[in-house]
C-alpha cells in the first residue's frame, strides 16, 4: 500500500505562516500577490506563480514548494531487513510506528505504538524476537495511544522517553538524554534531541543494519516537518543539526507519511 504524503503544498505554507507569525495580509504585501491568489493557495487550489512568489517570504524553497504543488516528487520505496512499519488510523489521519530488530540475534525494539500496535506485536512474536525496550519519540497521544497493549505484550520491556517529556507519561519510564546509546543485539541505538514540535522529541539513530535508520517521530516528514507548535525556530534548527547532518543514505522513519532518506529531504523538502 502506498502511503500518502503527510503534507501538501497548502499544509506547508500554513505551517510556515504559523511558525513565522506571518498574517495573510503581510504575505500578500511582501509577495505582491492578490489576496484571492493566497486564499486559493491555502485552500489547495494554488498556482505555481503564487507559490514561487510566496515561498521566499516564508523562508521556503520556491523550487521545492512548486514540486510539492505539482506532485513532482514522492520518496523512493524503501525495504530493509530488520525494519517493519505500521500505518494506523487516528481520527482523520494516519500515524506510523516501527519495529526494529537485529536479524542475526533476534533482538528488537518498538518505536512508538501508533493507534493500534497489534500488527507490531504480531510481527515481533512471529519472528520470535526478544523485546527488551520500547522507545517513544514523543508523548503526543497518537504516538502512544496503544502503549498499554504493548506493555502487556512485553511486560519486561523498559520504556524509554525523552527526559523533557517523561512527566507526561502515566507509567514508569527511563529518561532519555541526548547522546545516550543503547544496545539492541548487535545494533546500536543513539538518541538525538529534535524538539520544537514537542517539548523534548527524540530521534533514535540505529546503526548495524544494512543501511542506517533514524526514527524521527514528528520532527520531519517526507517533504515537510512537524508543526513546530512549541518552537518553530528550534524545530528547524534541530532538524538541520541532528537529522540532515546524518549520512544521506540514512532511512528516515517519520511519525506520519512515507519513509524517506536524508538525501531526498535535502533535495526536496521546502523547509530546508
pLDDT, tens only, 209-235: 999 999 999 999 999 999 899 999 999
pLDDT confidence tier of residue 205, bands split at 50, 70 and 90: very high
Residue-level pLDDT at 1? 72
- The domain at 83-268 falls in which architecture? 4-Layer Sandwich (3.60)
pLDDT, tens only, 41-80: 999 999 999 999 999 999 999 999 999 999 999 999 999 9
Task: Round to whole Å and give the CA distance between 126 and 129.
Answer: 8
- pTM of this prediction? 0.97
pLDDT, tens only, 176-193: 999 999 999 999 999 999
In degrees, rounded to 5, the angle at the alpha carbon of residue 212 between the alpha carbons of residues 95 and 103 is: 85
As a whole number, mean pLDDT of residues 156-167 equals: 96
Tell me what percent of the residues of the chain surpass a pLDDT of 90: 98
pLDDT, tens only, 112-156: 999 999 999 999 999 999 999 999 999 999 999 999 999 999 999
pLDDT, tens only, 102-122: 999 999 999 999 999 999 999
As a whole number, mean pLDDT of residues 20-33 equals: 98
Residue-level pLDDT at 130? 97
Q: Is the pLDDT of residue 237 over 90?
A: yes
Question: What is the CATH class of 9-69?
Answer: mainly alpha
Question: Which long-range contacts does 98-102 make (Cβ < 8 Å, 24+ apart)?
Answer: 98/215, 98/253, 99/123, 99/124, 99/129, 100/184, 100/187, 100/189, 100/206, 100/209, 100/213, 100/215, 101/127, 101/129, 101/184, 101/185, 102/184, 102/185, 102/186, 102/187, 102/208
Q: Where are the domains of the chain?
A: 9-69, 83-268
DSSP category for residue 239: I
Q: Is 21 left (phi over 0), alpha (psi -120 to 50) or beta?
A: left
Amino acid at each position: 500500500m502506498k502511503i500518502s504524503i503527510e503534507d501538501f503544498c497548502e499544509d506547508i505554507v500554513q505551517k510556515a505562516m504559523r511558525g513565522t507569525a506571518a498574517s495573510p495580509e503581510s504575505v500578500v504585501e511582501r509577495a505582491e500577490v492578490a489576496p484571492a491568489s493566497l486564499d486559493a493557495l491555502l485552500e489547495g487550489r494554488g498556482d505555481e506563480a503564487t507559490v514561487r512568489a510566496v515561498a521566499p517570504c516564508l523562508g521556503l524553497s520556491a523550487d521545492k514548494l512548486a514540486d510539492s504543488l505539482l506532485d513532482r516528487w514522492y520518496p523512493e520505496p524503501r525495504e530493509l531487513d530488520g525494519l517493519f512499519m505500521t500505518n494506523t488510523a487516528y481520527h482523520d489521519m494516519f500515524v506510523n510506528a516501527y519495529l526494529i530488530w537485529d536479524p542475526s540475534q533476534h533482538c528488537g525494539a518498538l518505536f512508538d505504538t501508533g493507534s493500534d500496535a497489534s500488527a507490531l506485536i504480531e510481527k515481533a512474536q512471529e519472528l520470535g524476537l526478544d523485546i527488551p525496550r520500547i522507545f517513544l519519540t514523543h508523548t503526543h497521544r497518537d504516538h502512544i495511544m496503544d502503549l498499554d497493549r504493548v506493555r502487556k505484550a512485553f511486560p519486561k520491556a523498559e520504556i524509554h522517553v525523552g527526559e523533557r517529556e517523561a512527566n507526561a507519561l502515566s507509567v514508569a519510564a527511563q529518561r532519555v538524554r541526548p547522546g545516550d546509546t543503547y544496545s539492541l543485539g548487535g545494533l546500536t541505538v543513539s538518541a538525538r534531541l529534535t524538539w520544537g514540535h514537542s517539548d523534548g522529541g527524540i530521534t533514535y539513530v540505529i546503526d548495524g543494519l544494512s543501511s542506517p535508520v533514524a526514527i524521527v517521530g514528528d520532527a520531519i516528514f517526507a517533504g515537510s516537518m512537524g508543526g513546530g507548535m512549541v518552537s518553530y525556530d528550534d524545530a528547524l534548527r534541530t532538524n538541520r543539526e541532528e537529522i540532515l547532518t546524518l549520512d544521506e543514505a540514512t532511512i528516515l522513519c517519520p511519525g506520519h507519511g512515507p519513509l524517506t532518506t536524508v538525501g531526498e529531504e535535502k533535495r526536496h523538502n521546502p523547509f530546508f
